[in-house]
A and B are shown apart, each in its own frame.
Chain A
Amino acid sequence: MSVFMDLNVNYTADTSRLQSLIETAAHLGFSTVAINYVFEPTVKKKQEIPAPTAISKVMDPLPIVQGRSRPIRVLNRLTIVMSDASHFRPTAVEYRCFDLLAVQPTTEKLFHAACMIYDVDIICISVTEKLPFFFKRAPVNGAIERGLVFEVSYSAAIRDSTRRRYTIANAVCLMETCKGKSVILSSAAEKPLDLRGPYDITNLGLLFGLSDGEAKEAVSSTCRSVVLHAETRKTASGIIYTVKSCTDWPPADCEAPAAKRARPQLTQ
């Protein structure tokens, strides 16, 4: 198993609250957290994607994880709540400053597109409403093959009983389709009291229909594979391909019909 991670800790402009969130996460035993900037584009006005604040400005030095000797690792993550296909722009420059990229699709078509086409790491399952669409095997399996993961967040379930029903219903629906693979459980914590320890989240995974081993993986190994997937996604933005150029040109007075000269291959 790998270290425990919580990949969804909501960003607040209040620095002291963010600091106490990170301290609580380190105290509970999480070795990595990701600060989540939620971006919900609306039709009304043009909004800009928020730029992440540097971790050293938020908190320096970072607290040591309880029971280990290393400080907690803090990543930046962007979640785009999509209600239209134009909301996600694959080549946007602003996405590059974030370590992790997530989308939350709200319609079936967007869910299908997110699973099969979009270059993201995490697909969030909404917990604040009953899902308007059903999960189909084909896009879910396609997403698993591409290395994407599905995320269920639990802090809404702590705060409100209606959302608790929706969280459990949506999560159980997801687990039936994806068979417990490629799922991560995270808090969408806004205050330190919303966070729970990793073994408690493992127990919560049992409520969602995961088995013992799957639930523990959802907090550790699967999170690690998401972080690695995000790293490779960021670095694989271009491939250098060089081929030795042919320097001998065909003689001008040969009988063969005029043919295109072989151009030396350019670096792409």
Chain B
Amino acid sequence: MSADLERTPRNLLVSERSSFLDQKNRISSQLDQLHFNYKVCVLLPECSSAPSHLDSALNTFSSFYLIRKLPLYELLDTHFLETVRQGGVSGLSYRTRLDEDNCVALMPNGRLSLSLDKDSFELLGVEGKPSRFNHRTKSRFVVCVDLTDSSMAPGGRGYQRLVTGLTSRLPLKTDFLMSLPAGGGASVQALLSRYDWSEHRPEVSRCSLTDLLCPAPLTSDPSAPLTSDPHRLLEWLGAVHAAVSCENSSSSFLSSLVCPEPNKKLSHALRVSVCGLLSHQDVQKLIQEIRVYLSVSPPGSASWASVTLHGFVDSPVSWGGEEHGVLRGGDNFLSLMMFPDQSYLLHLAAGAHDTCPP
């Protein structure tokens, strides 16, 4: 039993080393696979304030809507379905816990995924599968519906069954976060006007750090000691973003995390984080701007930059639209470390109840 206690919960980490200049790099498709992004954290060493083009990229993240107590049958409304068929609409239920409540996700390709507990699934009466992460008893079920399919056209059998289920048998109402493609606001005005909704911009917070210990040398060289141990690197990066002190002083029992050896002290660093329902286009644009920043900065100052993209913990789908679950934590994130020679080191991580990242 003691050997079991030393193990932390299972997690999956896929590391990849490549370059933006390489034709065959999959970075943009990998970024697209993480559908629902909650937070992007950027760490720029030797930088005290963000350059202007980076600032403008950070401030122009597109906004998203929060609709309170949206009944789910509204997602099957004829007008809304037209907008969904054009693509780009994504939505997620807000303040629902994946291991306790019923959660809903609408992916940009038109797939609606409902993660329901046993009673709700039995009440709804629509075809679904037991969750892959059920332990002994089947207590969680997943209903996956493709809204662009012909059987889900209004009047189709599948559509009728789902609509009757959501209106009479299981009238689910959740708070819903929705992000629309550019210019899509007009088409859902009818839907929004019926409920209490608000528009939000992603929240940006900047923090300038001084005297930060950072592992060195950080290069994309595969034989460098640190890049061959991604867990320690990611642990240090996480500690910096979570503002956890890495000093491990003898008088403090809060954290015993340390910066991996060998390390050097940075005089300045900039830590920026953006929270909200973030869209892929904004994240790709931000990465482009950081690449530009790295290539024009004088050599010796910025030798790397890191971007970490966190997915929602309570979203029913994660990597590639596959099912996601929460055992003790539902972390799914992507960490990109970029270097001035346009090469990068990519880590894709998933928790215990998850499929392997692509």
Contact = CB atoms under 8 A, between A and B. Distances in A.
Interface of A: 1-4, 31, 67-69, 172, 181, 199, 202-203, 206-207, 209, 212-214, 216-217, 220-221, 224-225
A66 B100 CA distance: 12
18 contacts: A1-B100, A1-B139, A2-B117, A2-B139, A3-B100, A31-B100, A67-B95, A203-B328, A206-B4, A207-B5, A209-B1, A212-B328, A213-B136, A216-B99, A220-B99, A220-B100, A221-B139, A224-B139
Given A203-B328, A212-B352, A68 B136 contact: no
Given A1-B100, A2-B117, A220-B99, 15 more contacts: A1-B117, A1-B139, A2-B100, A2-B139, A3-B100, A68-B97, A69-B95, A172-B1, A199-B328, A202-B328, A213-B136, A217-B136, A220-B100, A221-B139, A224-B139
Interface in B310-358: 327-328, 352
B297 to A, nearest CB: 42
Contacts of A203: 328
Nearest to A69: B95
Interface of B: 1, 4-5, 9, 95-97, 99-101, 117-118, 135-137, 139-140, 175, 327-328, 352
Contacts of B140: 1
B97 to A, nearest CB: 6
A63 to B, nearest CB: 16
A4 B137 CA distance: 16
A112 to B, nearest CB: 26
Contacts of B136: 181, 213-214, 217
Contacts of B135: 213-214, 216-217, 221
User: Which 5 residue pairs of A and B lie closest in terms of their CB atoms, listed nearest first?
Assistant: A213-B135, A1-B99, A3-B100, A221-B139, A221-B137
Contacts of B137: 217, 221, 225
Contacts, number: 55
Contacts of A199: 328
Counting chain B CB atoms within 10 Å of each CB, the highest count among A3, A207, A221, A224 belongs to: A221
Contacts of B96: 68
Nearest to B5: A206
Contacts of A206: 4-5
Contacts of B352: 212
Contacts of B1: 172, 209
Contact of A68 (B101, B117, B139): B101
B291 to A, nearest CB: 38
